[in-house]
Amino acid sequence: MYFADFPPGAGRLEPRAALRSDAPSLDLTGDWRFRLSSVADLPDDFAAPSFDDSAWDVLAVPSHWPLHGHGAPAYTNVVYPFPVDPPRVPDENPTGDYRCVFDLPEGWSGGRLRFEGVDSTFKVWLNGHELGFSTGSRLPAEFDAGPYLVEGANVLAVRVHQWSAASYLEDQDMWWLPGIFREVELTRSSADLFVRAAADGTLSFEGEGLLSIPELGVADLAPGTEVQVAAEPWSAEHPRLYEASFVTAEETVRLRVGFRTITVEDGVLRANGVPLVFKGVNRHEFHPDHGRAVPYETMVEDVLLMKRHNVNAVRTSHYPPHPAFLDLCDEYGLWVVDECDLETHGFGQTAWRGNPTDDPRWTQALLDRMRRMVERDKNHPSVVMWSLGNEAGVGSNLKVMADWTRERDPSRPIHYEGDLSCANVDVYSRMYASHAEVEAIGRGEEDPLDDPELDARRRAMPFVQCEYAHAMGNGPGGLAEYQELFETYPRLAGGFIWEWIDHGLTHQEYGYAYGGDFGEPLHDANFVVDGLVFPDRTPSPGLLDLKKVFEPVRFAFDEGTVTVTRAVPYPLSFPWALTADGTVVAEGVLEVPESPGAEVKLPTLPEVAEPGELWLTVRAVLAADLPWAEAGHEVAWGQTKVGEGRREPVVTRGRAGADLAGATFDSRTGRLTGLFGLDVEGPRLELWRAPVDNERFGGLEWNWRTLGLHRLTHRIDSVSREDGVLTVRSRVAPAATDLGMSVTYRWSDVGEGIGLDVHVVPEGEWTLPLPRLGLSMTLPASFEEVVWFGRGPGEAYPDTGMAAAVGGWGASIEELQTPYVYPQENGQRADVRWARLTGGEGPGLRIEGEPVFGLTVRRWSTEELAAAGHLTDLRKGERVHVHLDHAQHGVGTAACGPGVLPRYELRAGEARFAFRFTAV
């Protein structure tokens, strides 16, 4: 059976470059007839032109059939959803038969049927004649249609199997989504060329035809001839392209040539001679409604979003993207690591027994994939590295792929992460290495390989993190610290965040579905939802932080001056603003010379009558429109505190005879029963938070729950009133352990408002970090709005929130929530000096902290948030839940990679903090 055998295809034409040709072509996308069967062993009768398909469904090409009511999507990360017994596959093998009738234009003869992407194996018939079959889901395949085309109506029949031998090679961490998911055309183009254009202006090409680049004075260049031209080099920051034409006897091809050179010199990766640091993301092709059949506008949206968030590189994890995406990368400027459609991760489950990467029976299939990628994408200046694949173990076939590639294209380094020996590659690549390990590699002090020769080779290589900072749920933490390393050690060529987008599929009941939501018996839950943008491509806080960390312009403030460094060639302007307690009191524009680094005097700031805390913020914005953003787009910002302001001490520890006007207490328990007439519950000590994905998958949640932090008990030990201070002593502890927190709450009249001073002393040996340390309280549901002076506008945790600036901010309670597809702790506003909650009946409440505090306000409890599996589980309740945190634990990236860095851990220790509550 062809679909359960080693050969990667039959009847196909040689692979060639994706090109824009003026040769006639017939777009065959559109509505095709479709029938789904549950098995693969079916008669071929449907391929006959006379076959009656009138009872079949209609299905759009391109698309995935499970997203159109035929079967269902399924998600697994590492494991194969079928028995590992290569090259065989189960009898239950969803098989889609497609039929398309097209009219041949008059005078048409010959041509190729070109399929851009079919998942996973397909066989093709034209007018009843079998043309062949192909594998390699994310790669084009062409068949010679010429001999079988007929005048008038032609019948194209395609049989697609979900499972095939090729499925063993396509075990990427993503939804299994079969179907003809990229375009199909009949084309009379057959041209192929390979342009070699270097940064020093040398130009030549291979191919049968003549090349012209009018702008550079190149006319009718013959293949194999090298010329020297005066071309500006192409780079991600300055993606200079030259329009070229390639003329053969049959057609004229238009292409855009970029001149650039990638080298490794002295262990440093360089582009056009300059050290190259990837500020990259891993991009899967994904759309919440269409899966990997990504509309063109969505590709443009991805590129624009990346550029606008200071991303300069993409790894096409883990397969070649739609060819149009690479055109966009050429045009807008993104460095690309183009990755072969190869992953055999599931063999890891069986100790890599039978791994195709190391089995000669699979050599042709693996080489076929590599060749087809290189041939398709070889003319893109944006593509600066070829990757042999992802997580495919080690083995002899890697060498075959690498040797062929090096021979065919010596101009690009080869990448593969899965073989630590780096025997076949040109760069040392790792995923999820800790900061400490990256630093050791940066210094050239990594642990040696056993083989001294290989070790010496690897030690001379530049280093990339092909995946780091797993962006699952709330996070990733630790971004800034990685970037600092990348910018410190020349050997470090940066890396690629895992990953660009959450693969949540649109779902009626759940909003966005993840693994298991379609009833898959074997799945990896929400591990597929780990992106920097939500499924609808709204940037998550993680992307906003990344933008800050990747800023190509930096501000270093000093007494009266700021040093501005910039690494991008485009014109910028530098508006500044002075704020007092978050309100703008003066504005201007800073004159900054265009040099890469300049020390500039800060503006003379006006005297401010009612000072408050004074902050000077300087922004770098585009001074003119660029293809990817308009003038005024913010590229970078920095701020510095220029005045402390006056802050009343929040708590004056009680005044004799004063009563606690505005607050009512239960005299027996000391529990606050009312505040300025508001019905309140709490505040009381809270240690628990709804675990974030990094805690769920990294093991910390389990430890926390075992300790019982989600079921704390509160015991009142004493209530006393003295000198106008109400003192409540309490012990907060989980059951079944002798660990606890002794908490003293002191309530006092502080002139304006009610003060609450909290003193926490841990008891016993606390070894685990705490989720949070702070107060929680609830208020009536009528509260709507929050205004605060602190960091914002977005959320921030100890190791995230680089995008959050000190200022005056406001949001509705709904807007304060970050809609992580899998509900978890979110939405904290950090370093809050004061906040005002208002809306509905009764007075508003102003809360001032000493020191600053973390503010979280939501319409559901922590328990409800922790229990929810989808956002649709969260409903507005009877109360507004408010957290006033002295501290929280960082979020790290332990779902995949290192946990919270020690400096961002929240360790149990004695703590004092205070709040003042006032009615407003």
Task: Enumerate the active-site residues.
Answer: 391, 467
Length of the chain (residues): 920
# chain residues binding ligand GAL, by CB under 6 A: 12
Q: Is 339 in the site for ligand GAL (CB under 6 A)?
A: no
Q: How far is the CB of 432 from ligand GAL (least distance, A)?
A: 7
197 or 896, CB closer to ligand GAL? 896
Q: Which residue is nearest to ligand GAL (CB)?
A: 173
Structure tokens, 606:
């006006």
Of 37, 77, 652, 664, which lies in the binding site for ligand GAL, with binding defined by CB under 6 A?
77
Say which residues have a Cβ less than 8 Å from residue 604's Cβ, sequence separation at least 6: none
Q: Which two tokens stand for residue 572?
A: 């910028």
Q: Which is nearer to ligand GAL, 517 or 757 (CB)?
A: 517
Residue with tokens 């926390």: 704
Q: How far is the CB of 315 from ligand GAL (least distance, A)?
A: 10
Considering the complex, what minimum distance in angstroms separates the CB of residue 422 from ligand GAL? 17
Question: Residue 341 interacts with ligand GAL (CB under 6 A)?
Answer: no
CB of 391 to ligand GAL, least distance (A): 5
Q: Closest separation between CB of residue 434 and ligand GAL, Å?
A: 15
Minimum separation from the CB atom of position 206 to ligand GAL (A): 34
CB atoms < 10 A from the CB of 653, how many? 14
467 binds ligand GAL (CB under 6 A): yes
Mark residues 20-59: x for contact with ligand GAL by CB under 6 A, - for none. ----------------------------------------
State how far the alpha carbon of 811 is from the alpha carbons of 489, 808, 816, 902, in Å.
Answer: 41, 11, 6, 32
Q: How far apart are CA 273 and CA 267, in angstroms?
A: 13
What are the strands, taking DSSP E only, across 699-828?
712-722, 725-734, 740-749, 754-763, 772-780, 785-792, 805-812
390 binds ligand GAL (CB under 6 A): yes
How near is the Cβ of 515 to ligand GAL at its closest, in Å? 12
**Nearer to ligand GAL by C-beta: 391 or 757?**
391
In angstroms, the CA 522 to CA 513 distance is 15
Find, among 821, 834, 748, the residue nearest to 791 by Cα.
834
User: Which listed residue (171, 377, 530, 581) binds ligand GAL by CB under 6 A?
Assistant: 530
User: Could you say which residues in the range 167-196 bind ligand GAL, by CB under 6 A?
Assistant: 173
Q: Within positions 486 to 505, which residues make up the interface with ligand GAL, using CB under 6 A?
A: 498
Would you say 116 or 499 has its CB closer to ligand GAL? 499
Q: CA dist 277 to 234, 437, 559, 694, Å?
A: 16, 18, 31, 27
Task: Report 779-838 residues binding ligand GAL (CB under 6 A).
Answer: none
Could you write out the DSSP letters of every residue in 497-560? ES-SB--PEEETTTEEE-TTTT--SS--GGGG---SB-TT-PBPHHHHHHHHHT-SEEEEEETT
Placement of tokens 């360790």 in the chain: 907
3-state secondary structure of 493: strand
Q: Please say which residue, 251 or 467, places its beta carbon nearer to ligand GAL.
A: 467
Rounded CA-CA distance 558/562 in Å is: 6
Q: How far is the CB of 882 from ligand GAL (least distance, A)?
A: 34
| Residue nearer to ligand GAL on the CB measure, 234 or 386 | 386
Contact present, 659 and 750 (Cβ < 8 Å): no
Phi, psi of 704 (to 5 degrees): -65, -45
Interface pattern 675-714 for ligand GAL (x via CB under 6 A): ----------------------------------------
Could you report how far apart the first and last alpha carbons of the chain are, in Å?
A: 77
Give backbone dihedrals phi and psi of 236, rounded to 5 degrees, phi first: -65, -30
CA atoms within 13 A on the CB side of 642: 27
Nearer to ligand GAL, 375 or 530 (CB): 530
Instruction: Return d(Cα 357, Cα 291) in angstroms, integer.
Output: 28
Bridge partners for 195 per DSSP: 205
Q: Is 156 left (phi over 0), alpha (psi -120 to 50) or beta?
A: beta
Phi, psi of 46 (to 5 degrees): -65, -15
For ligand GAL, the binding residue among 192, 375, 391, 517 (CB under 6 A) is 391
Check binding of 465 to ligand GAL (CB under 6 A).
no
Q: What is the 3-state secondary structure (H, E, C) of 358-377?
A: HCHHHHHHHHHHHHHHHHHH
Q: Select 386 or 628, whichever has its Cβ closest to ligand GAL.
A: 386
Minimum CB distance to ligand GAL smaller for 75 or for 259: 75
Q: Which is nearer to ligand GAL, 390 or 856 (CB)?
A: 390
Q: Which of residues 315-334 bind ligand GAL (CB under 6 A)?
A: 318
Lookup: tokens for 63: 């698309």
Q: Does 640 bind ligand GAL (CB under 6 A)?
A: no
Among 19, 845, 882, 896, binds ligand GAL (CB under 6 A): 896
How many of the other CB atoms lie within 10 Å of CB of 488?
Answer: 11
Q: How many C-alpha atoms does 88 have within 13 Å on its Cβ side?
A: 6
> Taking the complex as a whole, how short is the minimal distance between the CB of residue 499 and ligand GAL, in angstroms?
7
Q: Which is nearer to ligand GAL, 533 or 741 (CB)?
A: 533
CB of 517 to ligand GAL, least distance (A): 18
Least separation, in Å, of the C-beta of 475 and ligand GAL? 12
Give the Cα separation of 51 and 44 in Å (integer).
10
**Which residues lie near ligand GAL (CB under 6 A)?**
77, 173, 318, 390-391, 431, 467, 470, 498, 527, 530, 896
